[in-house]
Amino acid sequence: MKITNAYVNICSPGRNFVTLKIETDQGIYGLGDGTLNGRELAVASYLTDHVLPCLIGRDPFQIEDIWQYLYRGAYWRRGPVTMSAIAAVDMALWDIKGKALHTPVYNLLGGRSRQGVMVYCHAFGKDIHAALEDVAKHKEMGYRAIRVQSGVPGLKSTYGVGKTTGYYEPAERGLPTEYEWETESYLRSVPGLFAKVREVFGEEIHLLHDCHHRLTPIEAARLGKELEPFHLFWIEDPTPAELQEGFKLIRQHTTTPIAVGEVFNSLWDAHDLIRNQWIDYIRATVVHAGGLTHLKKIADFADLYHVKTGCHGATDLSPVSMAAALHFDTAIHNFGIQEHMPHAAETDAVFPHAYFFKDGYMYPGDKPGLGIDFDEKLASQYEYQRAYLPVNRRQDGTLTDW
């Protein structure tokens, strides 16, 4: 089999997505996601201008060799743009191989290790009362694990709390908006939120919380310690992770489990975190961490150190990534949990898929390949629109992590 054609589509059915299609001489095609929120066009150009011409004529079954060709062969390694572009190619090649061999991709990754993939959803509210209502709603929908975020008294906006109820999309069209932040107000409010959630909903439900890289290690240690009585499944991204050693300090102070990695793009971003057992869950994801080929290596390395996976699954990861993540989650041994933020109806219509949600679990479906398609005609009705993630400032004006 040979690759005969490959092209990128950029569309915006509800939000922007970068989709790669690779075609072969046998009529089989594969799909990949290359969406990098707020920097979409950079990945599209990396693919179109630099990667795709090198693929024509290659054997799509040589997934490892093509991965190494794009990684080592570029000389310039790693980084979110490069690794998202490699991921898009990698996903499409696994899709092709599955279709050619008439089997779902999870069978190529080792086969089923579990029946269903436990997912967590997002509940939020402008205050504790509204957050509790949203938790009740999601529990009713069947979720067994719920991430809870609420507005912080004294702050006009905060991460994870949508402007309207029911749907939350962090990127906004146009140039970046500005949020405000004050750590002390946040640290004072979060323990009260979880005390209330446990009081109302009991111990059965798994609870998660995302700090979105906003704390220093000692502040995160304080938060983790104060949340211990409420037995969280994890606190996520407690502190920015460029300094991996920062997590050592958090670890010394708290038994609240720690998850990190949605912005990581290779194993090397998590090498110290994993081998020192400073974290419990690695959140690297298919699209931003070099595709299934590299994510499998990260998971296998993590498995040696009792670290489980918890793949990022926000709406900026297209349904192609969601499908790939669910095949991966079904196959690997050290799966922990999968994030699930349902896409908008327009998005789902453009990407018909075999995966589905039932009673707190998701399933990749049994179609050959990734079980995902792309309606290019429908996609052409949704042109790309410039959009950015917000930026964040402290109340005195200092720019800080969003």
Give the whole-angstrom CA distance, residue 35 versus residue 314: 12
- Measured from the CB of residue 148, what is the shortest distance to ligand CS2 in angstroms? 13
Q: Which is nearer to Mg ion, 262 or 269 (CB)?
A: 262
- Measured from the CB of residue 157, what is the shortest distance to ligand CS2 in angstroms? 14
Instruction: Assign 59 to helix, strand or coil.
Output: coil
What's the residue count for the chain? 402
Torsion angle of the four alpha carbons 314, 97, 67, 19, in this order, in degrees rounded to the nearest 10: -40
8 Å CB contact between 127 and 152: no
If one asks whether residue 33 binds ligand CS2 (CB under 6 A), the answer comes out as no
Give the whole-angstrom CA distance, residue 12 versus residue 173: 11
If one asks whether residue 314 binds ligand CS2 (CB under 6 A), the answer comes out as yes
Q: What values do phi and psi take at 374, rounded to 5?
A: -140, 120
- Measured from the CB of residue 289, what is the shortest distance to ligand CS2 in angstroms? 13
If one asks whether residue 339 binds ligand CS2 (CB under 6 A), the answer comes out as yes
User: Residues 203-222: x/- map of binding to ligand CS2 (CB under 6 A)?
Assistant: -------x-x----------
Applying CB under 6 A, which of residues 219, 226, 262, 373 lies at the interface with ligand CS2?
262
Which residues in the 365-394 window bind ligand CS2 by CB under 6 A? 389
Q: How many residues of this chain bind Mg ion (CB under 5 A)? A: 2
Give the whole-angstrom CA distance, residue 263 versus residue 392: 17
Residue 286, CB half-sphere, CA atoms under 13 Å: how many? 29
Applying CB under 6 A, which of residues 125, 170, 238, 368 lies at the interface with ligand CS2?
170
* Active-site residue, selected from the candidate residues 71, 106, 120, 159: 159
Which residue in the block uniquely carries the two structure tokens 């029946």? Answer: 115
* Active-site residue, selected from the candidate residues 122, 138, 209, 212: 212
Which two structure tokens, joined as six digits, stand for 107? Answer: 């069978």
Residues contacting residue 88 through CB under 8 Å, at least 6 positions apart = 18, 19, 20, 32, 33, 34, 43, 47, 287, 291
- Measured from the CB of residue 317, what is the shortest distance to ligand CS2 in angstroms? 7
If one asks whether residue 33 binds Mg ion (CB under 5 A), the answer comes out as no
Instruction: Assign 329 to helix, strand or coil.
Output: helix
Task: Give the range of 30-38, 147-155, 176-184, 257-265 binding Mg ion by CB under 5 A.
Answer: 257-265
Give the whole-angstrom CA distance, residue 218 versus residue 216: 6
159 belongs to the catalytic site: yes
Query: Which partner in Mg ion, ligand CS2, none is near 316 (CB below 5 to 8 A by kind)?
Result: ligand CS2
- Measured from the CB of residue 334, what is the shortest distance to ligand CS2 in angstroms? 20
Q: Which is nearer to Mg ion, 8 or 250 (CB)?
A: 250
CA-atom Rg of the chain in angstroms: 20
- Measured from the CB of residue 312, what is the shortest distance to Mg ion in angstroms? 7
Give the whole-angstrom CA distance, residue 106 versus residue 103: 8
Which residues in the 47-66 window bind ligand CS2 by CB under 6 A? none
**Residue 57's closest CA among 24, 88, 90, 82?**
24
Applying CB under 6 A, which of residues 37, 265, 293, 347 lies at the interface with ligand CS2?
37
Applying CB under 6 A, which of residues 134, 316, 329, 373 lies at the interface with ligand CS2?
316
Query: Which partner in ligand CS2, Mg ion, none is near 33 (CB below 5 to 8 A by kind)?
Result: none
Q: Which is nearer to Mg ion, 8 or 215 (CB)?
A: 215
Q: Are strands 391-394 and 399-400 parallel, antiparallel or unpaired?
A: antiparallel
Task: Give the range of 84-92, 311-319, 330-338, 345-353 binding ligand CS2 by CB under 6 A.
Answer: 311-319
Applying CB under 5 A, which of residues 210, 219, 280, 329 lies at the interface with Mg ion?
210
Give the whole-angstrom CA distance, residue 139 versus residue 141: 5
CA angle 339, 82, 347 (to 5 degrees): 40
Which residues have a catalytic role annotated? 159, 212
- The contact set with ligand CS2 (CB under 6 A) reads 37, 170, 210, 212, 262, 312, 314, 316, 339, 389
